[in-house]
Chain A
Amino acid sequence: MNGAQAFIRALEGESVEHIFGYPGGAIMPVYDALLDSSIRHILVRHEQAAALAADGYARATGKVGVCMATSGPGATNLVTGIANAFMDSVPVVAITGQVSRLLMGTDAFQEVDIFGITLPIVKHSFLPESVDELPDVVAEAFAIARGGRPGPVLIDLPKDLTLAATSATHRPHAGSFAPPAAPEEALARAAELLRASRQPIIYAGGGIGIGRAVEEFRQFASRTRIPVVATLKGLGSVPTTHGLFLGMMGMHGTRASNLAVQVCDLLISVGARFDDRATGRLKDFAPHAKVIHMDADASEVGKLRKADVALVGDLPALLGALADLTGPLDIESWRVECLANKAAYAWNYDLPTDSVYAPWLLKRLSDKVGGNAVITCDVGQHQMWVAQHCDFQRPEQHLSSGGLGTMGYGLPAAIGAQIGRPDATVINVSGDGSIMMNLQELVTVRRYDLPIKIVLIDNHALGMVRQWQELFFEKRYSEVDLSDNPDFARVAEAMGIPALRVDRKDDVESALDQLLNEPGPVLAHVVIDPVANVWPIVGPGRSNAEMFEGERR
């Protein structure tokens, strides 16, 4: 067989069922070998969508997502998706074609140093030197992608290797990339801090879902009965309907969450990294709290906030061990205070106009799917409203580009999620700015008849940027006017997707029912007030205690 065939067989050996990709010259031998494989290839219409779909697939299923493109521009079009996976610790293997080794370094046609370009945004990368090592490279790449703190791995395939003869076969990778177990002394010290605390808060991050520690986290939270706040990617670590869940914290977090963190005396950070969107002004974040920092990645501990106790290791094991050492805490008055604030600052959906109020629409959407859908979103105001007003039972139901904040993420991610979970209800909530960035993927949705429900919230603006210019740049609006958007319903229909339009509050219920009852894909074009803002907000460089609200529109 040739190298391409050995490569594809190695992917099969890694239980790969789907590849998201787009062919071209340098990768052609692999596409030829794919014809004889059980692997199902999903043809996208832009390589960026391939990488983002692989990301969504991985988040929704827990498997390694795989994307593939040719050399040169095909490879560079994967870069945003690779960076997106890197920032959110998503296991993705990105395969790129490369010119033949004799041509490398000569500025050949469609040659680009994708290995060099992606060095800062991959967990590791491979440029194989011999055809016989291809199966081992595949095995190692997958092990690295999924091991420890997951992340993307690049395999750059010179074309001559894919055409060369080989008899090498796949064998599972022998090494282990699991993090070490935490020392008992640290666990004992953490338990001591927990027992001594009077106002503890659990700060739940994306590492819980990525680290497959959801059950152990829930047991720890239930056992200690400590109130929980979550980052954007930590949403769903406990169900958002859980009685002790105070809400998302940070820049657009709930008042109850931010206030609780600001007065707590112990912050138990689990799989979170003290990102600036979550902490606000770092020196004023949780000012009275000792910190227990639990993470699979030692480099996160102490990076931004000194930890009083560092617990680095396998999160399920750490959470289990700590729960065993700690029973229910005597903090009833604290719990009562936190829950009273949660009730006092509950969301208000009354809006005395006829126009659609996006938070309320998303709340109703969430109610109708009962917290059981996979919701992907793009980036901007709609993303924050989804995080604030939709319920999630599991973290893998909420696919949101957190670290990189990639506009254009939502639709490809929804494609990946639907391919990976064909029986799930998958909803993409997007904005009029974001949807244009990968709009071509409506054709992919149609091609594979994916029953994705698309809720396009249109405020004729680059909404989040407009809000910042209103609040922090003295209403000096620069390049945020999108009033020349196309008729999205007609665009969708031209691409074979049925569509409906909603622009009145009274039409929301029937529109959502129509959307959810449609057996195939459908797009709901929802028009909202162009000057609607996301509240509350913590301004740039401010403490989370300084969150404020303006007029609801």
Chain B
Amino acid sequence: MSRFVCELRTKRSEGALVRVLSHVRRRRYEVVRLAMQTEEDGATFALTLTVEAERSPESLARYLAKLHDVTHVKISDDSRAATAG
């Protein structure tokens, strides 16, 4: 089981947030932490997901990058996991 951080930006369109979260779940990744805000332009959502899964972070990044409204995806290690305990 790995834990990683996924930062992404998506256009603020109908259902954008639930579409991202729906795809994360569908591909069998679990969101354990979520931060989200609307960017200054009012037209973009920025999300930071901390995700746990047996499957690879790179695969999730490729799935999310396919979504029409997603404009940016970045995967990184969960620094909290590295520093916690």
Contacts and interface: CB of A to CB of B under 8 A. Distances in A.
Contact of B59 (A115, A127, A302): A302
Tell me the interface secondary structure of chain A in the complex: mixed
B72 interface: no
B15 A125 contact: yes
A299 B19 CA distance: 17
Nearest to A147: B68
Interface string B22-38: 11001000000000000
A429 B63 CA distance: 36
Interface in B56-85: 56, 58-59, 62-63, 65-69
Contact of B23 (A120, A297, A303): A120
Contacts of B22: 119-120
B68 A302 contact: no
Contacts of B15: 115-116, 119, 125, 127
B40 interface: no
Given A297-B66, A298-B65, A116 B26 contact: no
B18 interface: yes
Nearest to B66: A299
Which of A124, A127, A144, A297 has the largest number of chain B CB atoms within 10 A?
A124
Contacts of B66: 297-299
B21 to A, nearest CB: 10
B41 interface: no
A303 B62 CA distance: 10
Contacts of B58: 302
A303 B59 CA distance: 7
A126 B14 contact: yes
A123 interface: yes
Interface string B1-29: 00000000000001100110011001000
A125 B68 CA distance: 9
A493 interface: no
A232 to B, nearest CB: 24
Nearest to B69: A124
A174 to B, nearest CB: 15
Contacts of A509: none
Interface string A124-161: 11110100000000000000100000000000000000
B70 to A, nearest CB: 11
B25 to A, nearest CB: 9
Nearest to A177: B68
Contacts of A144: 68
Contact of A123 (B14, B63, B68): B68
B14 A116 contact: no
Contacts of A124: 67-69
A539 B69 CA distance: 41
Interface string A272-303: 00000000000000000000000001110011
Contact of B26 (A120, A125, A126): A120
Contact of A119 (B19, B63, B68): B19
A533 B62 CA distance: 40
Contacts of A299: 59, 62-63, 65-66
15 contacts: A115-B14, A115-B15, A120-B26, A123-B68, A125-B15, A126-B14, A127-B15, A129-B14, A298-B62, A298-B66, A299-B63, A299-B65, A302-B56, A302-B59, A303-B59
Given A115-B15, A120-B26, 18 more contacts: A115-B14, A116-B15, A119-B22, A120-B23, A123-B68, A124-B67, A125-B14, A125-B15, A127-B14, A129-B14, A144-B68, A297-B66, A298-B65, A298-B66, A299-B62, A299-B63, A299-B66, A302-B56
Interface of B: 14-15, 18-19, 22-23, 26, 56, 58-59, 62-63, 65-69
3 smallest beta-carbon distances between A and B, as pairs? A299-B62, A124-B68, A127-B14
